[in-house]
Amino acid sequence: MLETSAQLSIKLDTTFHVELPAETWVNGILPLADGRIIISGGTYTTPGLPPWGGINWMRRILPNGTIDPTFNPDARGHGGLQPWGDRFYANHGGLKRFTIDGYIDPTFPPLVEYLEDWIVLDDGGILVAGDVTPDSVPPITNFGVVKLDTAGAVDMEFNYAALSGSPRQFFRSSTGQLYVFGFFAPPLGPLIKIDQNGNLDLSFALDPLIGGVTVISDLVEQPDGRLIITGKLGSPLGGDPLNIVRLEANGLIDPTFNSDHTWTHQGVYNPNFTWSSVELLPDGHVMASGLFQMIDGSPRNGVAIFDEHGDLTDDLAGAGCLPFLTPNSSIPYLTFSNTHFQSPVKLIAVGSFHGFSDGTITETSHWSICRLIVESYPGVGFQEHTEQVKFDLFPNPSNGLVELRHHGAPLTNARLQVLDALGRVVYTSTVNGLSQGRSVALDLGGLQSGTYIAHLTADGVEERVRFVIRH
């Protein structure tokens, strides 16, 4: 088998179309196991206009993109949506827990102050950052943090010491630990790593070159444990802040990744704009989104693809998000604010845009939500094989009990390997008789919670998919 790089294909899924009112934005995504999607966002129009009735809202989307009429039409929420069993958390005038049909769960007492972020932990509790005021403890103000149990009571066993300061955003690592962005007392930098009991991981320390005025908008962990972060990331090279950086697992800047990119919006560079999201693609490339129209002198409309070395690729050149103006701004919006893989090849992207172009197809009616088909194909060393392995693991995330579903030509003696975040093989199996539409049950429940790569090899071709186990 010849060594070769993969070729990326990003196509707009024209079978998925969501009818949203004009001047709406979407910033929350919660894909469900049955193919439906709950989204949240807001509108720039006057509150009270039917049928949305307010500045923030939630809707459930059917697999074909139509709005599910059985979901509570009066559900309100915005920001991140966090699943919790058969319910979920959202922010509407404070943190609230909802049923899957969009009704408030009365067994969970709401937090009624300003919230920054929240994340569900493995024990079912939830960690909340912001100006929160639980009734059972003295008020925690000025961007504090509190851990609540499943009934909404404060967990006093959690170690709050490491998070003293102003935590703003949580990211889960493949090992179940948490990366926390915020403003902490020295010598801590703006990104720390803790376990789910609040204990500081001293093996991670953010490179001091990224310190200063840093805003981390998003973070993604590679299978090898390195991190790619995006936002407004200080000025380690001098001059303007960087917007995308790769870190080693210990927090130091990875010098092999190109972070030195120039960008403009409407021909003007604005250092106050931050890049908003980052996503790791199946071939190891990186999709980054932000309020830009040019990167390194090449047109990129709100979304750009970088290779594994951080170099800008030709993917989506001149394409991407189409702009629109809000009633109170002369600056057009054209960016993804959040992305989420619904399946190994289907990427849901939401944000503020009026249409999307993949370079071949341009759809002006995809307002603030679209679905992209993202696939990687082997290069010249594999061209003798015209049929590629096509598979996924379902559900994803799961508790380890999954089905391997095959979507291509019949395969014999397929070899499946599962790799952990450090690239170690933690599971190996031979799967016989794979054919179109057949599912094979796998028990991966013995693996710890985390992100893994499933590597399937058969008949001289191979494919990898990323999946998550949560216990």
Per-position DSSP letters for 180-234, written without gaps between them: EEEEE-TT--SEEEE-TTS-B-TT----GGG-SSEEEEEEEE-TTS-EEEEEEE-
> Does residue 134 have a pLDDT over 60?
no
Average pLDDT over residues 177-192: 88
> Does residue 139 have a pLDDT over 50?
no
Percent of the chain scoring above 90 in pLDDT: 29
pLDDT at 377: 55
Confidence class for position 293, pLDDT limits 50, 70, 90:
very high
Please indicate whether residue 229 or residue 327 has the higher confidence score (pLDDT).
229
Q: Quick check: 174 and 221 in contact, CB under 8 A?
A: yes
Range in 92-106, 250-264, 316-330, 346-360 the model is least confident about: 316-330
pLDDT at 59: 94
29: nearest Cα among 97, 90, 96: 90
Ranges of each domain in the chain: 6-378, 387-469
392: nearest Cα among 442, 459, 427: 442
pLDDT at 52: 42
> Does residue 171 have a pLDDT over 90?
yes
> Does residue 142 have a pLDDT over 60?
no
> Does residue 272 have a pLDDT over 80?
no
pLDDT at 370: 93
pLDDT at 189: 84
Using one digit for the tens of pLDDT, what is the confidence trace for 68-88? 999 999 898 887 898 888 899
The pTM for the full model equals 0.76
Per-position DSSP letters for 84-142, written without gaps between them: ETTEEEEESSSEEEEETTS-B-TTSPPP-S-EEEEEE-TTS-EEEEEEE--TTSS-EEE
pLDDT at 229: 95
**Rounded-to-integer distance, Cα 146 and Cα 153, Å:** 10
> Does residue 288 have a pLDDT over 70?
yes
Residue 25's DSSP bridge partners are: 42
pLDDT at 132: 59
Q: Which of 89-93, 99-103, 351-355 has the highest mean pLDDT?
A: 99-103
pLDDT at 162: 77
Using one digit for the tens of pLDDT, what is the confidence trace for 223-257? 888 999 999 887 765 567 788 999 999 999 898 99
Average pLDDT over residues 131-146: 55
* Residue at 447: amino acid letter: L
| Token couple for 366 | 């995809």
**Rounded-to-integer distance, Cα 385 and Cα 399, Å:** 34
Q: DSSP secondary-structure letter at 396?
A: S
**Rounded-to-integer distance, Cα 444 and Cα 95, Å:** 33
pLDDT at 352: 87
6-378 belongs to which homologous superfamily?
YVTN repeat-like/Quinoprotein amine dehydrogenase (2.130.10.10)
Using one digit for the tens of pLDDT, what is the confidence trace for 154-167? 888 898 887 877 88
pLDDT at 297: 92
> Does residue 47 have a pLDDT over 70?
no
pLDDT at 279: 93
| Token couple for 410 | 């019949």
The average confidence (pLDDT) of the chain is 81
Q: DSSP secondary-structure letter at 28?
A: E
> Does residue 190 have a pLDDT over 60?
yes
Using one digit for the tens of pLDDT, what is the confidence trace for 391-434? 778 777 788 888 887 776 676 678 888 877 655 678 888 877 66
| Topology (CATH) of 387-469 | Immunoglobulin-like (2.60.40)
**Rounded-to-integer distance, Cα 48 and Cα 206, Å:** 45
Same fold, 6-378 and 387-469: no
pLDDT at 435: 67
Average pLDDT over residues 14-29: 87
